[in-house]
Amino acid sequence: MSRFALGDPWLEELATRRDVIERLMAAHLPNDDGLCVECTTPGHGTPRAPWPCSLWTLADEAHQLRALRNPGRPPG
């Protein structure tokens, strides 16, 4: 875990929502310039937002937390 600490309410809640984790990680991908395609879409977010963006990072950390809490089960 790096940006969000264990016990962070956003991380703890997101870790219970596999469907949301999967959607965030699928939508927030890098483009050819290394920018997040979702965050840099006009009208949505921050122009020139680098990937991994904060939402992808939060989803990845929630994904890792799920794996830690559910050893032996496929992550996701």
Look at residue 2 in the predicted model and tell me its pLDDT. Answer: 57
Look at residue 45 in the predicted model and tell me its pLDDT. Answer: 73
Q: Average pLDDT by consecutive 10-residue portion of the chain (76 residues)?
A: 69 94 96 92 79 93 90 64
Beta bridge partners of 36: 30
pTM of the model: 0.80
Look at residue 1 in the predicted model and tell me its pLDDT. Answer: 42
* Cis bond upstream, residue 52 (ω within 30): yes
Secondary structure in 3-state letters for the chain: CCCCCCCCHHHHHHCCCHHHHHHHHHHCCECCCCEECCCCCCCCCCCCCECCCHHHHHHHHHHHHHHHHCCCCCCC
